[in-house]
């Protein structure tokens, strides 16, 4: 077993540890590496990063970082950040008026925001479902006014039923609402079949949380196999697949599946994370592929940062070299 395979569970556990958060965030060199993956802490910084990405021909999906909110004021504060962000983003959207009520869109919307429902109050002790639904509805309304898309992010498996229930409710008013499905969960093939109907937008990723073997595939080969099966379902479905992967094998499979099913470049897209495989992102855009960059920002960057370290050994190696070089 590779060292990275041994370290990944520990890093994912650390992503949810307040004690580790206090330790890691105090290390001066951490900020330098965080800047590779997180576009600052303010809306102005996120908009500045958005400008350069859109200018390069890529699309954008912006996430205001935060999750596991148990305070109503904090959930409302997250909504305020999204409303401020969407107001600033409206100047970037393509054909905003034409795009607001039609699906599928023509052209594809170049600007999107991503939401974590747990940051909007999903697990508040009272009325969490209702609060998250109402808060997400406010953001979706503002996004429609701005001519932007919205996609609801996936979190750990304990949130999946609640999240998909809220997504279904929101889609009654916002049929273009996207959602994320994680291939490593054993339920996801069934969810792909259920949710890939006309007008749907599904972002398929491998999964980034520490999950038990009872609900999630553990080995890379099993996760890859599940991803390919889910990808096939989505490409043969009636929606708009969003292929979120940096794995060349998965990207290649997506392009092959799109060709085999007769999809044009306007009928699916590739997605990659801000700060990862930038040259490859630009190469794919040069080949006329739609590619969207997932761009996170905000003060609550720790959990996201640790999951990026767990995701790729090169990220962790860079971080450790940086620590050594400062001592």
Query: How does pLDDT run across 150-206, given as a tens digit for each residue?
Result: 999 999 999 999 999 999 999 999 999 999 999 999 999 999 999 999 989 999 999
Q: Quote the pLDDT of residue 109.
A: 94
The pTM of this model reads 0.85
Q: Is the pLDDT of residue 38 over 50?
A: yes
- The reported pLDDT for the residue numbered 175 is 93
Distance of CA 15 to the CA centre of its chain: 17
Measured CA to CA in angstroms, residue 114 lies from 65, 179, 248 at distances of 10, 9, 24
Residue 109: count other Cβ atoms within 10 Å of its Cβ.
23
pLDDT of residue 276: 85
Strand, coil or helix: 293: strand
Q: How far is CA 43 from the centre of its chain?
A: 18
- Show contacts of 48-55: CB within 8 Å, 24+ apart: 49/274, 49/295, 49/297, 50/89, 50/92, 50/111, 50/295, 51/92, 53/274, 53/293, 53/295, 54/92, 54/110, 54/111
Both structure tokens of 95: 């054909």
Residues annotated as part of the active site = 153, 203
Peptide bond preceding 93 in cis form (omega within 30 of 0): no
Strands (E), the chain: 59-64, 111-115, 149-152, 178-182, 201-205, 240-244, 269-273, 291-297
Residue pLDDT, tens place only, 40-55: 889 999 999 999 999 9
Q: What does the CA dihedral 173, 105, 93, 258 come to, rounded to 10 degrees?
A: 120
**Mean pLDDT across the chain, nearest whole number?**
86
């Amino acid at each position: 077993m590779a060292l990275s395979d041994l370290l990944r569970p520990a890093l994912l556990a650390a992503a949810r540890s307040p004690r580790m958060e206090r330790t890691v965030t105090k290390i001066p060199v951490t900020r330098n590496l965080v800047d590779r993956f997180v576009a600052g802490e303010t809306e102005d910084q996120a908009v500045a990063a958005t400008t350069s990405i859109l200018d390069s021909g890529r699309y954008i999906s912006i996430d205001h970082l935060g999750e596991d909110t148990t305070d109503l004021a904090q959930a409302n504060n997250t909504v305020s950040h999204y409303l401020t962000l969407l107001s600033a983003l409206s100047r970037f959207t393509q054909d905003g008026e034409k795009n607001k009520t039609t699906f599928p869109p023509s052209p594809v919307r170049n600007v999107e925001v991503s939401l974590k429902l747990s940051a909007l109050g999903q697990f508040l002790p009272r009325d969490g479902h209702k609060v998250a639904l109402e808060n997400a509805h406010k953001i979706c309304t503002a996004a429609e006014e701005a001519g932007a898309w919205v996609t609801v992010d996936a979190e750990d498996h304990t949130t999946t039923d609640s999240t998909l229930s809220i997504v279904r409710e929101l889609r009654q008013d916002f049929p273009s609402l996207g959602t994320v499905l994680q291939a490593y969960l054993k339920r996801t093939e069934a969810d792909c079949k259920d949710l890939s109907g006309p007008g749907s937008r599904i972002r398929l990723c491998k999964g980034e949380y520490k999950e038990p073997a009872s609900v999630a595939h553990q080995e890379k080969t099993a996760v890859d196999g599940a991803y390919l099966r889910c990808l096939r379902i989505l490409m043969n479905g009636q929606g708009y697949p969003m292929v979120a992967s940096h794995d060349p094998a998965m990207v290649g499979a997506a392009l092959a599946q799109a060709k085999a099913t007769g999809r044009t470049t306007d009928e699916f897209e590739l997605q990659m994370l801000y700060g990862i495989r930038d040259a490859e992102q630009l190469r794919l855009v040069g080949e006329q592929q739609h590619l969207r960059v997932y761009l996170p920002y905000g003060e609550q960057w720790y959990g996201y940062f640790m999951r990026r370290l767990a995701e790729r050994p090169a990220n962790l190696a860079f971080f450790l070299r940086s620590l050594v070089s400062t001592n």
